[in-house]
Amino acid sequence: MPEVKMTVNGKPASGQIEGRTLLVEFLRETLGLTGTHVGCDTSQCGACVVHVDGKAVKSCTMFAAEAEGAEIKTIEGMAEPDGTLHPIQQAFQDHHGLQCGFCTPGMVMSAAALLAENPTPSESEVRDYLEGNLCRCTGYHNIVKAILAASGQDVSRIAAE
Ligand code: FES
Ligand code: FES
């Protein structure tokens, strides 16, 4: 089987793959990075979002072989090495942006990509950007609030739900 090499969360990573191995399978099964979730496997739910060379990508839509030489960031790479949460993770905690948490890694990774592109998005821009991320608990309100808070905007007038 061919070998694939990439950088994952700042460290070199490699492994044997089949041509059909998806990036999400490589991350979860070969590297043991199970924070990236599989909610649908059909490119709809966004639970598998990671960053590939800085862009948000649904890792169930990409072959591992296509990530050869790429810089990948997963949810495991968001907190500081001492465990301090990334500001987006902290905002999700502070504003109750998660219920079951299954969608949360993908939401956080999408939010990080959004804020890198648009540091102070409006509420409707956040909602539009999250179109590809489904939360089956329907906890969108607090997710959007958390992302607005993570962008440094005042969310004190947005009611909690
Ligand atoms: S598992 Fe990739 S979009 Fe649902
Ligand atoms: S928090 Fe439950 S699916 Fe999103």
Q: Is the CB of 99 under 6 A from ligand 2?
A: yes
**What's the pTM?**
0.96
What is the spatial distance between Cα 77 and Cα 8, in angstroms, rounded to a whole number? 8
Three-state DSSP at 68 gives coil
Same fold, 3-77 and 87-150: no
Q: Which CATH architecture has domain 87-150?
A: Orthogonal Bundle (1.10)
94 CA distance to ligand 2 middle (Å) = 16
Percent of residues, the chain, with pLDDT higher than 70: 99
pLDDT, position 41:
84
Length of the chain, please? 161
pLDDT at 158 over 90: no
* Domain chopping of the chain, boundaries: 3-77, 87-150
Three-state DSSP at 26 gives helix
pLDDT at 154 over 80: yes
What is the spatial distance between Cα 86 and Cα 100, in angstroms, rounded to a whole number? 20
108 CA distance to ligand 1 middle (Å) = 14
DSSP per-residue codes, 94-127: HTT--SS-SSHHHHHHHHHHHHHH-SS--HHHHH
53 CA distance to ligand 2 middle (Å) = 26
CA proximity to 56, closest of 140, 124, 115, 135 = 115
The one-character DSSP state at 37 is -
From the options 3.50.50.60, 3.10.20.30, 3.40.50.2300, 3.20.20.70, give the CATH code of 3-77. Answer: 3.10.20.30
- 105-120: per-residue pLDDT in tens? 999 999 999 999 999 9
80 CA distance to ligand 2 middle (Å) = 24
The one-character DSSP state at 134 is -
Q: Is the CB of 135 under 6 A from ligand 2?
A: yes
Residue of 40, 44, 104 to mutate, ligand 2, most atoms within 8 A of C-beta:
104
Q: Is the CB of 96 under 6 A from ligand 2?
A: no
pLDDT, position 161:
66
Q: Is the CB of 87 under 6 A from ligand 2?
A: no
136 CA distance to ligand 2 middle (Å) = 5
- 56-80: per-residue pLDDT in tens? 999 999 999 999 999 999 999 999 9
